[in-house]
């Protein structure tokens, strides 16, 4: 994950999930290890950008979508105590 991609991911996490910078940094670290570039880009989109998010999700395999789903189920809990 490049610094620019990480910055965008953390900013989106803070805006969309109302988590702290430290918590979102923790989420970015996990995403960097467990998700591919397309999944990270997908999670960095504005949730109201339905056209682009729908187009991206159509490009993903079931495995990629499952990885995103699993990440969103586990990473926020893992990062809850980050400070």
Residue 83 has pLDDT above 90, yes or no: no
| Burial class (CB within 10 angstroms; exposed 0-12, middle 13-18, buried 19+) of 12 | middle
Using a pLDDT cut of 70, give the percent of the chain over it: 100
Is the pTM higher than 0.85? Answer: yes
Residue 75 has pLDDT above 90, yes or no: yes
Residue 4 has pLDDT above 90, yes or no: yes
**Stretch 7-29: mean pLDDT:** 96
pLDDT in tens, 58-73: 999 999 999 999 999 9
Cα 3 from Cα 68, distance rounded (Å):
21
Residue 35 has pLDDT above 90, yes or no: yes
CB under 8 Å, gap of 24 or more: what pairs does 21-29 form? 22/82, 22/83, 23/76, 23/79, 23/80, 23/82, 24/79, 25/82, 26/75, 26/78, 26/79, 26/82, 27/75, 27/76, 27/79, 28/1
Residue 3 has pLDDT above 90, yes or no: yes
**Stretch 38-52: mean pLDDT:** 93
């Amino acid at each position: 994950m490049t610094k620019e991609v990480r910055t965008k991911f953390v900013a989106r996490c803070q805006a969309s999930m109302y988590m702290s910078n430290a918590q979102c940094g923790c989420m970015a670290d996990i995403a960097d290890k467990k998700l591919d570039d397309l999944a990270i880009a997908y999670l960095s989109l504005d949730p109201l950008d339905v056209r682009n998010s729908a187009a991206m999700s159509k490009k993903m395999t079931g495995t990629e979508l499952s990885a995103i789903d699993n990440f969103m189920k586990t990473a926020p809990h893992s990062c809850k105590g980050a400070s």
